[in-house]
Amino acid sequence: MRIAGRHFRTIWRAENGDVLVIDQTRLPFEFETVRLAGLEEAAHAIRSMMVRGAPLIGATAAYGVALAMRRDPSDAHLAHAVELLRGTRPTAVNLAWALEQMTAALACPAEARAERAFARAAEICDRDVALCEAIGAHGLSIFERRFQEKGRKGPLDVLTHCNAGWLACVDWGTALAPIYKAHDAGLPIHVWVDETRPRNQGGSLTAYELGAHGVPHTIIADNTGGHLMQRGRVDLAIVGTDRTTSNGDVCNKIGTYLKALAAFDNKVPFYVALPSTTIDWALAHGAEIPIEERDARELSHITGRTAAGALETVAIYPPASAALNVGFDVTPARYVTGLITERGTCPASRDGLLTLFPEQARVAA
């Protein structure tokens, strides 16, 4: 997508073969790229959330393996790289998927590994872009239908939670891809952007990228969506996911479940957009997903820009109070109107998913 008129992906290779990413911890105030020259830097970028979002975590892990192979392509170093990267973030399944892809691609003589690894990582990135764009096209037809149902009056009001845009992927995004497609096709659209505490990926990243693309949007506190739904001010909700199990349960950024409950109560369609790389076919229920707990400091402190223009982090709560920072929650499939994938939209159920991905019937839990 475009930043100040220039097309960017979230991850790409520098001329000397290093990997470049956007430091998302500095957005929306500073657009800075960071050079990843080795495995440890790639692992740090994921752990520190310099890069984040399920598909981008997978892409960065793939390049992390490639950077490791550039330095030392031995079996031992490959195993070390995979284990180190696997431990960086537990919830998004794209990480494990990408590491499996890399391991399979690197079953070759050590001398061939570095080149092969960079080629496979690039393929993973290109494929993610294609999957997200296809999700955008399928989602667009849902948006157009909903716009007709609303009598083509006013903008289509769409609510989203967290950031599932191009910054969470390689390009386009998952939940935001249909929004970009709709906007580009001239469908009047307005997005309610959940702030998404504690790290505010909605307010800082979703709002930033929608703004850069010229999509009308309004940031709301996380607790506002239910009220807006009661007042008929949300036509549909769409979110991404970090892992969806074979029965259609959706794990996504903390707070998604509450939005789904409010949408269900108010008969607001609640869609989840995901590439098939985010489906964990081996798990039968969302309750089996490991849920990341992060440093309580993300809750008790907040970073912003001062009037003087500096980025500063300040404490906002009583220092002695305990704080719990759970990263994700699970929305049961029954609250999901449909899963929008690169192959089309299906009910959030095992049968629904297998209609689109019949080749997974033997592995689906």
Do you find a cis peptide bond into 55, omega within 30 degrees of 0? no
Letters for 287-326 (x = contact with ligand MRU by CB under 6 A, - = none) are ----------------------------------------
Distances, alpha carbon 356 to alpha carbons 142, 190, 225, 339, 340, in Å:
17, 30, 31, 10, 10
Q: Is residue 341 near ligand MRU by the rule CB under 6 A? A: no
Q: Of 325, 328, 141, 365, give the one whose Cα is nearest residue 240.
A: 328
Q: Which of 206, 244, 252, 345 binds ligand MRU (CB under 6 A)?
A: 252
Catalytic residue among 194, 222, 242, 329: 242
Q: Which of 43, 84, 239, 279 binds ligand MRU (CB under 6 A)?
A: 239
CA distance 49 to 35: 15
Q: Which residues, 6+ apart, have CB-to-CB distance to 237 below 8 Å?
A: 158, 159, 160, 161, 225, 259, 260, 263, 268, 269, 270, 271
Question: Tokens 């570095």 — which residue?
Answer: 114
Which amino acid does the sequence have at 316? I
Q: What would you measure as the largest C-alpha separation in the chain, in angstroms?
A: 63
Tokens 């307005």: give the residue.
Answer: 190
Determine which residue in the list 64, 73, 90, 240 makes contact with ligand MRU, applying CB under 6 A. Answer: 240
Q: Does 11 participate in binding ligand MRU (rule CB under 6 A)?
A: no
Cβ nearer to ligand MRU, comparing 117 with 251: 251
Of the candidate residues 286, 327, 338, 352, the single one contacting ligand MRU (CB under 6 A): 327
- Residues 337, 146: contact at Cβ < 8 Å? no
Residue whose CB is less far from ligand MRU, 59 or 65: 59
Q: How far is the CB of 175 from ligand MRU (least distance, A)?
A: 7
Cis preceding-peptide flag for 198 (omega within 30 of 0): yes
Name residues contacting ligand MRU, limited to 54-83 (CB under 6 A): 54
Q: Could you tell me the end-to-end alpha-carbon distance of the chain, in angstroms, rounded to an integer?
A: 36
Of 114, 143, 134, 142, residue with least CA distance to 39: 114
Q: Residues near 205 by Cβ (< 8 Å), separated by ≥ 6?
A: 24, 27, 28, 163, 165, 167, 168
The footprint of ligand MRU on this chain (CB under 6 A) covers a number of residues equal to 16
Q: Which stretch binds ligand MRU (CB under 6 A): 15-23, 156-164, 335-343, 345-353?
A: 156-164
Would you state the structure tokens that stand for residue 353, as one six-digit string? Answer: 């998913």
**In this chain, which of 9, 43, 52, 338 binds ligand MRU, going by CB under 6 A?**
52
> Smallest gap, in angstroms, from Cβ of residue 181 to ligand MRU?
16
Cα 171 to Cα 41, 100, 229, 332: the distances in Å are 22, 22, 30, 28
241 binds ligand MRU (CB under 6 A): yes
Is residue 200 at the binding interface for ligand MRU, with CB under 6 A as the rule? no
Question: Residue 274 CB, nearest distance to ligand MRU (Å)?
Answer: 8
Under the criterion CB under 6 A, does residue 234 sit at the interface with ligand MRU?
no
From 158-166, 186-194, 206-214, 331-339, give the range in contact with ligand MRU by CB under 6 A: 158-166
* Stretch of 136-144, 160-168, 331-339, 346-354 lying at the interface with ligand MRU (CB under 6 A): 160-168
Q: Is 242 a catalytic residue?
A: yes
- With CB under 6 A as the contact rule, the residue among 53, 58, 64, 139 that binds ligand MRU is 53
Give the span between the Cα atoms of 114 and 106, in whole angstroms: 9
Phi, psi of 283 (to 5 degrees): -105, 135
Q: Does 204 bind ligand MRU (CB under 6 A)?
A: no
Residue 162 in contact with ligand MRU, rule: CB under 6 A: yes
**Of 168, 179, 234, 268, the one binding ligand MRU by CB under 6 A:** 168
Residue 163 touches ligand MRU, criterion: CB under 6 A: yes
Closest separation in Å from C-beta 153 to ligand MRU? 29
Q: What are phi and psi of 128, to 5 degrees?
A: -60, -40
In terms of residues, how long is the chain?
365
Name the residues annotated as catalytic.
Answer: 242
User: Which residues lie near ligand MRU (CB under 6 A)?
Assistant: 52-54, 162-164, 168, 174, 201, 239-242, 252-253, 327
